[in-house]
Amino acid sequence: MGTFKGWVIDKGEAGQSLAFRDFDDADLMEGDVTVRVTHSTLNYKDGLALTGTSPVVRRFPMIPGIDFSGIVEASDHPDYKPGDAVVLTGWGVGETHLGAYAERARVKGDWLVPLPEGLTAEQAMAIGTAGYTAMLSRMALDAHGLTPAQGPAIVTGASGGVGSVAVALLARAGWHVIASTGRDGEADYLKGLGAAEILDRAELSKPGKPLGKERWAAGIDAVGSTTLANVLAQTRSDGAVAACGLAQGMDLPTSVAPFILRGVSLLGINSVTTPQPKRREAWTRLARELDLDTLARMTSRVRLEEVGRLGPEILAGRIRGRTVVEVG
Ligand code: NDP
């Protein structure tokens, strides 16, 4: 027994507070695998947790951080032994279960996946929850039977984490990718990831018509709200849009027109509780299909001590691509 360093969110009468401090091993929550965390990342949901902007943290004290990679220190789970390299995303870690922004984590072995062959622990977290969600979205479009031959694909929130990986994955698979962004300065960045066209997000963020010109066959939407409504209204007949995010808002002010007049499908993506077989398939495909040089181009690094100040930055849309948090 001992202590380890981590970020801790507490809640008192004055509201939520965040501190980098020692945490006692004995206060770790129940779980059959203890992991020495080597890397974590910064996702939009981490921004919500760190700032308390929305009630994603439902237990106090809480160690935030929704994903990690690391090395198993101790295990009572049949699939894992000390020394194994593992990855975790989702399952309420950093929300209801003590999370990733610390040197140690104790979780259920059933939540883990082995570090996919071909990826380092750092690359796995460069992908992180955001990249894994982009792959789940891509898989949903594939399962719908969509191919690049049917027309372009739009990605919204393209300069963010989910968006950057989605652009890279779709472009590598041969899609003509239209990257929607609010950042003028990121056109070269997005083209470097494989985007064929850049669309000013202002074109999509205001209320539009129930149906518009058919511009794309597929979409990955990290933004929600009127943006998703406009994406649906401009999707070609029998196309589909994977909805995974809410960066603009949780609302969806749409009509049934795209669904009943064009046969458009809205595919929901929830990365948190994805069952193991699909989870492992997504990671295997990420290791195989995501170009690692492209991944490196969208990734920056911070030390664990620095992550506490980045919550407001990601919520304000000022973080480009993916951010790896170096822990150990
Ligand atoms: P990021 O902050 O990295 O990316 C979000 C991007 O959305 C921004 O970079 C920006 O892109 C765009 N954006 C931000 N604010 C607005 C706005 N007001 N209007 C329109 N566009 C906006 O976050 P992540 O990539 O980590 O997550 C993206 C979304 O996906 C989040 O809502 C997150 O909660 C959700 N998510 C859902 C998961 C699931 O299981 N369903 C899993 C992971 C993430 P640009 O500057 O290019 O316009």
Ligand 1 mutation pick, 54, 129, 133, max ligand atoms within 8 A of CB: 133
Ligand 1 mutation pick, 155, 162, 193, 225, max ligand atoms within 8 A of CB: 162
Give the pLDDT confidence score for residue 147 in this predicted structure: 98
Residues 109, 134, single domain; the answer is no
Residue 288 is assigned to a structural domain of this protein: no
Last residue of a domain, one of 252, 268, 284: 268
pTM, whole model, 2 decimals?
A: 0.98
Residues 183, 107, single domain; the answer is no
- Please say whether the beta carbons of 226 and 206 come within 8 A: yes
Nearest to 154 by CA among 189, 207, 196: 196
Residue 312 is assigned to a structural domain of this protein: yes
* pLDDT, the chain, mean: 97
Residues 40, 152, single domain; the answer is no
Residues 156, 245, single domain; the answer is yes
Residue-wise DSSP of 55-97: ----SSSB---SEEEEEEEEE-STT--TT-EEEEE-TTBTTTB
CATH of the domain at 24: 3.90.180.10
Q: Ligand 1 pocket: which residues have CB below 6 Å?
A: 43-45, 129-130, 133, 157-163, 181-183, 201, 205, 222-223, 227, 244-248, 269-272, 314, 317, 319
Residues 144, 230, single domain; the answer is yes
Residues 227, 155, single domain; the answer is yes
Give the pLDDT confidence score for residue 328 in this predicted structure: 87
Cα(247) to centroid(ligand 1), Å? 4
Overall average pLDDT of the 4-9 stretch: 98
What would the pLDDT profile of 17-49 be if each residue is shown by its tens digit?
999 999 999 999 999 999 999 999 999 999 999
Distance CA 146, CA 322 (A): 27
Residues 142, 254, single domain; the answer is yes
Q: Which amino acid is residue 322, in one-letter code?
A: R
For the CA of 224, the closest atom of ligand 1 is 32
Cα(50) to centroid(ligand 1), Å? 16
Last residue of a domain, one of 225, 249, 268: 268
Residue 287 is assigned to a structural domain of this protein: no
Q: Look up the domain containing 320 and give its range.
A: 3-115+298-326
Overall average pLDDT of the 300-305 stretch: 98
Cα(313) to centroid(ligand 1), Å? 12
For the CA of 179, the closest atom of ligand 1 is 47
3-state secondary structure of 171: helix
Q: Which amino acid is residue 265, in one-letter code?
A: S
Ligand 1 mutation pick, 40, 41, 42, 44, max ligand atoms within 8 A of CB: 44
Residues 145, 260, single domain; the answer is yes
CATH of the domain at 180: 3.40.50.720
Residues 111, 209, single domain; the answer is no
Nearest to 272 by CA among 91, 67, 134: 91
Last residue of a domain, one of 253, 268, 283: 268
Residues 161, 257, single domain; the answer is yes
Residue 278 is assigned to a structural domain of this protein: no
Residue-wise DSSP of 144-163: TT--GGG--EEESSTTSHHH
3-state secondary structure of 8: strand
* Residue located nearest, by CA, to atom 5 of ligand 1: 160
3-state secondary structure of 12: strand
Write 77-80 long-range contacts (CB < 8 A, 24+).
77/32, 77/33, 77/108, 77/109, 77/110, 78/109, 79/109, 79/112, 79/114, 80/33, 80/109, 80/112
What would the pLDDT profile of 139-179 be if each residue is shown by its tens digit?
999 999 999 999 999 999 999 999 999 999 999 999 999 99
Cα(180) to centroid(ligand 1), Å? 12
Cα(223) to centroid(ligand 1), Å? 6
Overall average pLDDT of the 265-271 stretch: 98
Residue 1 has pLDDT above 70, yes or no: no
For the CA of 190, the closest atom of ligand 1 is 47
Residue 255 is assigned to a structural domain of this protein: yes
Residue 279 is assigned to a structural domain of this protein: no
Residues 25, 84, single domain; the answer is yes
Residues 264, 135, single domain; the answer is yes
For the chain, the domain total comes to 2
Instruction: Measure the N-to-C terminal CA separation of the chain; round to a whole number of Å.
Output: 19
What would the pLDDT profile of 45-101 be if each residue is shown by its tens digit?
999 999 999 999 999 999 999 999 999 999 999 999 999 999 999 999 999 999 999
Distance CA 68, CA 90 (A): 10
Residue 153 is assigned to a structural domain of this protein: yes
Cα(27) to centroid(ligand 1), Å? 33
